[in-house]
């Protein structure tokens, strides 16, 4: 999730663009860059502050494009920072998304003599426009023709030195909004950098391009037809705009679930071969084929993702797995060798305990691998190999979309390691097809959020909550409880449903509700009897159950239905309603959901 911003008008463009990038910083902070036609491209690794130092404040230019990067293809280096340019340094592009056919386009362009300067997919676009310009087209037609050749997702802005007042924007799967001012116009990923200048905006739809000049704008279908759409006035504050109109980042991030799964899977499912393509593991793939044991380390939510991974990897890849809290692992004397893979799961890639566990594993000769969201973070750099989540920055302290992505990545890893071993074609085929169906299934749950909100309101006075689950949903019981306690400060406990009789059942009475994660899987019957035991003690029960299961209604009327998938992927569908439940409950209690008391997003100290 990168951010783009473009300006053409009468203000000083450098200052306007830098200021806008600061409002977009929540979208990425790996690198920042700007193109000013009179001056050229200026780029810097890290946050906007680093770029600011490189741009003189007295510089008089009146148009330009700017970008904040959250790295996907290529490391967060200056060479890979946007804007990207063509061979002549006349055409510059900023892009949020992925051009899927970039490799073939790059080969074609190189054969025509184009020279590339970065490892990014985006640079292809600048050279495509250059190619079209050299065929005699004007800038607008050249940009349209170039857009017609790329496949993938993009929110984009393109500028050429030949017509410095003109900026072309385009949208396919990544948001683009125009800001329409008095003698000035803007293009951005969301309205937050625009609102200071104008409240009149116009959202592009997929397959549309816009051409802005200081005193005019036009919108077209990529095919060429003109689009007539009325602009709208927005009354959002810049902060509301960053949250995409949602009240909190946490809700926005939960709502991003389908997109996040698509981004984690993008380009990685090989339907024909029944395999996962994980470029980050290529360098160690022969060693991975020989490992005899996996130890997963993580903290908080990442640890619970690891527990789901244990079930997946043992069942489908046939490799023994242990899961450890980073904080425990580093103080034990773990027995590791070259046939052990030590897998760190971390959204930030900076959690101190997880990092130290990896360092300890390395000292002992294990192969270290990361499932990390933040490209170029310490864990990503220090592990031997890894799988990036591509989930985009997570701002809410309570982790939500990162977990969904971590479990998705673990499924890809299971496929990868399983196929190196005995996983059958049909098993692989089923995992792949079910993975590709997940985004729409998660969307279905999200569409039902009003019902979950009502359920949360009903239980908002509870002082305690128990979460129970079995097998693949055993870790989800703990994660559900963690979400509730961290943002609503309600005492919540996760429990393996089979353990109820060994203690927790003693707490149950009519004031102590239970969240039962009860999809129609191989342990449903067992879980149903656990629910019955709770009901016999007059404990209220909310159940997460599979669509079409009427049997559950004989135990409780408070049911949240979720779609069905294969057992190993069910945790993704079970956890989303629990995230929403915790969110709405904390919200009903009036707490600051994005910044829970006493907690930090990234724990970089012990």
Residues with a known catalytic role: 2, 601
Q: Which is nearer to ligand G6P, 9 or 326 (CB)?
A: 326
Give the shortest CB-481-to-ligand G6P separation in angstroms. 14
Cβ contact 344:298 at 8 Å: yes
Q: Which is nearer to ligand G6P, 358 or 523 (CB)?
A: 358
Give the total of residues touching ligand G6P (CB under 6 A).
Answer: 16
Of the candidate residues 302, 452, 515, 582, the single one contacting ligand G6P (CB under 6 A): 302
Query: Quick one: which segment of 127-135, 158-166, 395-403, 577-585 binds ligand G6P (CB under 6 A)?
Result: 395-403
Give the shortest CB-299-to-ligand G6P separation in angstroms. 4
DSSP 3-state percent helix, strand, coil across the chain (nearest 5): 40, 25, 35
Cβ contact 415:276 at 8 Å: yes
Q: Which is nearer to ligand G6P, 210 or 487 (CB)?
A: 487
Give the shortest CB-476-to-ligand G6P separation in angstroms. 14
Of the candidate residues 299, 445, 466, 575, the single one contacting ligand G6P (CB under 6 A): 299
Give the shortest CB-368-to-ligand G6P separation in angstroms. 15
Beta carbons within 8 Å of 503's beta carbon, 6+ residues apart: none
Compute the distance between CA of residue 244 and CA of residue 257 in angstroms, rounded to an integer.
14
Return phi, psi of residue 533, to 5°: -65, -35
Looking up tokens 């054969």, which residue turns up? 111
Q: Which of 410, 191, 377, 188 is nearest to 311 (CA)?
A: 410
Q: Does 439 bind ligand G6P (CB under 6 A)?
A: no
Q: Does 378 bind ligand G6P (CB under 6 A)?
A: no
Q: Which of 513, 416, 505 is nearest to 462 (CA)?
A: 513
Query: Quick one: which segment of 128-136, 287-295, 297-305, 330-338 binds ligand G6P (CB under 6 A)?
Result: 297-305
Of the candidate residues 346, 473, 530, 570, the single one contacting ligand G6P (CB under 6 A): 346
Give the shortest CB-356-to-ligand G6P separation in angstroms. 12
Cβ contact 238:192 at 8 Å: yes
Q: Does 389 bind ligand G6P (CB under 6 A)?
A: no
Residue 216: beta bridge partners?
A: 213
Q: Does 377 bind ligand G6P (CB under 6 A)?
A: no
Residue 495: beta bridge partners?
A: 468
Q: Which is nearer to ligand G6P, 16 or 354 (CB)?
A: 354
Q: Which is nearer to ligand G6P, 269 or 398 (CB)?
A: 398
Cβ contact 7:17 at 8 Å: yes
Q: Does 473 bind ligand G6P (CB under 6 A)?
A: no
Of the candidate residues 88, 200, 460, 602, the single one contacting ligand G6P (CB under 6 A): 602
Query: Quick one: which segment of 237-245, 255-263, 293-301, 309-317 binds ligand G6P (CB under 6 A)?
Result: 293-301
Compute the distance between CA of residue 298 and CA of residue 479 in angstroms, rounded to an integer.
13
Q: Which of 267, 269, 204, 198 is nearest to 234 (CA)?
A: 198
Which residues from 477-536 bind ligand G6P, rule CB under 6 A?
Answer: none
Compute the distance between CA of residue 473 and CA of residue 456 in angstroms, rounded to an integer.
20
Give the shortest CB-5-to-ligand G6P separation in angstroms. 28
Give the shortest CB-428-to-ligand G6P separation in angstroms. 28
Q: Does 275 bind ligand G6P (CB under 6 A)?
A: no
Compute the distance between CA of residue 210 and CA of residue 187 in angstroms, rounded to an integer.
9
Q: Does 398 bind ligand G6P (CB under 6 A)?
A: yes
Q: Does 189 bind ligand G6P (CB under 6 A)?
A: no
Give the shortest CB-605-to-ligand G6P separation in angstroms. 12
Compute the distance between CA of residue 472 and CA of residue 410 in angstroms, rounded to an integer.
13
Q: Does 397 bind ligand G6P (CB under 6 A)?
A: yes
Q: Which is nearer to ligand G6P, 22 or 351 (CB)?
A: 351
Q: Does 383 bind ligand G6P (CB under 6 A)?
A: no
Do you find a cis peptide bond into 83, omega within 30 degrees of 0? yes
Buried b (16+ CB within 10 A) or exposed e, 143-156: bbbbbeebebbbbb
Q: Which of 397, 421, 415 is nearest to 309 (CA)?
A: 415
Q: Does 159 bind ligand G6P (CB under 6 A)?
A: no
Q: Does 340 bind ligand G6P (CB under 6 A)?
A: no
Q: Does 599 bind ligand G6P (CB under 6 A)?
A: yes
Residue by residue, what is the 3-state secondary structure of 517-547?
EECCCCCHHHHHHHHHHHHHCCCCEEEEEEC
Of the candidate residues 120, 348, 405, 556, the single one contacting ligand G6P (CB under 6 A): 348
- 31, 45, 60, 119 from 79: Cα distances, Å: 10, 9, 26, 8
Compute the distance between CA of residue 469 and CA of residue 179 in angstroms, rounded to an integer.
49
Q: Which is nearer to ligand G6P, 345 or 452 (CB)?
A: 345
Of the candidate residues 31, 72, 301, 520, the single one contacting ligand G6P (CB under 6 A): 301
Q: Does 399 bind ligand G6P (CB under 6 A)?
A: yes
Of the candidate residues 137, 213, 535, 601, the single one contacting ligand G6P (CB under 6 A): 601
Compute the distance between CA of residue 596 and CA of residue 420 in angstroms, rounded to an integer.
43
Instruction: Write down the H helix ranges in 112-213.
Output: 123-134, 139-147
Q: Which is nearer to ligand G6P, 1 or 34 (CB)?
A: 1
Instruction: Report residue 50 as tokens.
Output: 């680093």
| CB-based closest residue to ligand G6P | 300
Name the region of 35 (left: φ>0; alpha: ψ -120 to 50; beta: rest).
beta
Cβ contact 93:118 at 8 Å: no
Query: Quick one: which segment of 233-241, 394-402, 557-565, 583-591 binds ligand G6P (CB under 6 A)?
Result: 394-402
Q: Which is nearer to ligand G6P, 192 or 374 (CB)?
A: 374
Q: Does 359 bind ligand G6P (CB under 6 A)?
A: no
Q: Does 595 bind ligand G6P (CB under 6 A)?
A: no
Instruction: Report residue 395 as tokens.
Output: 């701002």
Q: Does 23 bind ligand G6P (CB under 6 A)?
A: no
Of the candidate residues 16, 159, 351, 383, the single one contacting ligand G6P (CB under 6 A): 351
- 17, 69, 255, 590 from 4: Cα distances, Å: 10, 9, 21, 34
Q: Does 354 bind ligand G6P (CB under 6 A)?
A: yes
Q: Which is nearer to ligand G6P, 327 or 565 (CB)?
A: 327
| Site residues (vs ligand G6P, CB under 6 A) | 299-302, 346-348, 351, 354, 397-399, 599, 601-603
């Amino acid at each position: 999730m990168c951010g783009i911003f473009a300006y053409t008008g009468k203000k000083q463009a450098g200052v306007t663009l830098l200021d806008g990038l600061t409002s977009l910083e929540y979208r990425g902070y790996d690198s920042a860059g700007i193109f000013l036609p009179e001056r050229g491209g200026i780029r810097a690794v890290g946050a906007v502050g680093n770029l600011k130092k490189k741009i003189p404040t007295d510089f008089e230019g009146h148009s330009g494009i700017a970008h904040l990067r959250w790295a996907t293809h290529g490391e967060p280096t200056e060479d890979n920072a946007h804007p990207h340019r063509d061979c002549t340094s006349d055409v510059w592009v900023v892009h949020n998304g992925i051009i899927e056919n970039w490799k073939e386009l790059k080969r074609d362009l190189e054969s025509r003599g184009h020279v590339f300067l970065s490892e990014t997919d985006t640079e292809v676009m600048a050279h495509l426009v250059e190619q079209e310009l050299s065929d005699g087209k004007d800038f607008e037609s050249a940009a349209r023709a170039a857009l017609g050749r790329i496949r993938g997702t993009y929110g984009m802005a393109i500028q050429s030195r030949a017509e410095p007042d003109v900026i072309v924007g385009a949208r396919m799967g990544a948001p683009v909004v125009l800001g329409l001012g008095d003698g000035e116009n803007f293009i951005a990923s969301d309205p937050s950098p625009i609102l200071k200048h104008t409240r009149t905006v116009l959202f592009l739809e997929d397959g549309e391009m816009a051409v802005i000049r200081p005193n005019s704008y036009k919108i077209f279908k990529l095919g060429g037809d003109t689009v007539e759409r009325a602009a709208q006035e927005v009354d959002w504050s810049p902060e509301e705009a960053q949250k995409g109109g949602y009240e909190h980042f946490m809700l926005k991030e939960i709502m991003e679930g389908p997109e996040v799964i698509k981004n984690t899977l993008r380009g990685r499912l090989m339907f024909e071969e029944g395999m996962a393509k994980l470029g980050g593991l290529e360098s160690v793939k022969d060693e991975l084929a020989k490992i005899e044991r996996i130890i997963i380390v993580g903290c908080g939510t990442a640890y619970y993702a690891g527990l789901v991974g244990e079930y997946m990897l043992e069942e489908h890849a046939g490799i023994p797995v242990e899961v450890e809290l980073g904080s425990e692992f580093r103080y034990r004397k773990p027995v590791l060798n070259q046939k052990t893979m030590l897998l760190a799961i971390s959204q930030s890639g900076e959690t101190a305990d997880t990092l130290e566990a990896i360092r300890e594993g390395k000292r002992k000769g294990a192969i270290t691998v990361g499932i990390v969201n933040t490209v170029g973070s310490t864990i990503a750099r220090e592990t031997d190999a890894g799988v990036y989540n591509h989930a985009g920055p997570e701002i809410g302290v309570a982790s939500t979309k990162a977990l969904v992505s971590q479990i998705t990545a673990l499924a890809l890893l299971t496929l990868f390691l399983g196929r190196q071993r005995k996983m059958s074609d049909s098993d692989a085929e089923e995992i792949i097809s079910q993975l590709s169906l997940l985004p729409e299934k998660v969307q279905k749950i999200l569409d039902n959020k009003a019902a979950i909100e009502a359920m949360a309101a009903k239980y908002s006075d509870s002082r305690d909550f128990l979460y129970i689950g079995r097998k693949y949903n055993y870790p989800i019981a703990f994660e559900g409880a963690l979400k509730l306690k961290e943002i609503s400060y309600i005492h919540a406990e996760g429990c393996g449903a089979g353990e109820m009789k060994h203690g927790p059942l003693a707490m149950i009475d009519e004031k102590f509700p239970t969240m039962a994660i009860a999809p129609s899987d191989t342990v449903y019957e067992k879980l149903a009897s656990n629910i019955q035991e709770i009901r016999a003690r007059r404990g209220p029960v909310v159940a997460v159950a599979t669509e079409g299961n009427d049997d559950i209604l004989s135990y409780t009327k408070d049911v949240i239905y979720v779609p069905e998938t294969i057992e190993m992927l069910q945790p993704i569908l079970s956890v989303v309603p629990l995230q929403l439940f915790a969110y709405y409950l904390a919200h009903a209690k009036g707490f600051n959901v994005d910044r829970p008391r006493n907690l930090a997003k990234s724990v970089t100290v012990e």
